[in-house]
Amino acid sequence: MAAQRAPTARENTVDLPGVHLSYTDSGGNGVPVVLVHAATGSSRVWDYQRPVFIARGYRVITYDRRGFGNSTIDAAGPQPGTGADDLRGLIDHLRLDRIHLVGTAAGGFVAWDFVLSFPERLRSVVVASSIGGVQDPDYLDLQRRLRPPEFAAMPPDIRELGPSYRASNREGWERWKELEHTARPNGTPPAQTFRNKLTFSLLETIKVPTLLLTGDADLFAPPAVMRLFAARVTGAESVVVPEAGHSAYWEQPEFFNRVVLEFLAKH
């Protein structure tokens, strides 16, 4: 499947503490869905999701996280801030009550911290292809076993796109690399802090309907890692995306969209 660009959405900016946050909003009266991108992208990576979700009647909001895309850091404000507070500021600005939240990879870190901090603002949460930011020592040791130091030196597309996708979709591969290359115009932004110290025991307190997805070839969050999270979140649903790496939303968008939309429709 070749990369298809969604119709250009009108970009807006809201001034929040420490950041001029860039976002798009499809508008309308549909139930709001907020999409949170990975550390190797910006709001532009949701080309495959935005038009499909809008066509199903949802109001779709995407945004560039602090320091990514067109969101610029305001050095006069508090830094580095938390992703959860930036997201809350955005939905407060848009006067949204309760949203569906979809976060992928590092965007999943924001999603977990948000659901733990502001569960009353959520209808559901979807976390895709994410190691989650959990700080339990055993889990950190597992992560070190999965990815030795040499792993970080590999090109981002090799780390994050599965071999099946790279072998079968050159156009999509090149488009993903372009979006990754332009995602951080001012260099890698400082890592944001969290409102919560994420632990598996803390995840057990979540009551919000939760869907977990990961690719069967994900080098960061393989299915065995996803199952660790599914076992801790009460009632969580989990799905393995076939022939996908760490960017399942991009590599297998038809499968990803179908599963996510079926889940959202129930909540």
Q: Which two tokens stand for residue 141?
A: 């040791």
Query: Which pLDDT does position 9 carry in this prediction?
Result: 62
| Rounded Cα distance, 221 and 209, in Å | 21
Q: pLDDT per residue over 247-263, tens digit each?
A: 999 999 999 999 999 99
Q: At 20, is the secondary structure helix, strand, or coil?
A: strand
Which pLDDT belongs to residue 188?
87
Query: What was the pLDDT predicted at 5?
Result: 45
Q: 27-82, pLDDT tens digit by residue?
A: 999 999 999 999 999 999 999 999 999 999 999 999 999 999 999 999 999 999 99
**Which residues of the chain are under the pLDDT cut of 70?**
1-9
Measured distance CA(108)–CA(164) in Å, rounded: 24
Q: Return d(Cα 155, Cα 159) in angstroms, integer.
A: 6
Domains and CATH numbers, the chain: 11-265 (3.40.50.1820)
DSSP H or E stretch at residue 215: strand 210-215
- What separation in angstroms does the CA of 185 have from each of 37, 57, 70, 79, 110? 16, 33, 8, 18, 21
From the list 127, 133, 134, 162, the residue with the least C-alpha distance to 36 is 127
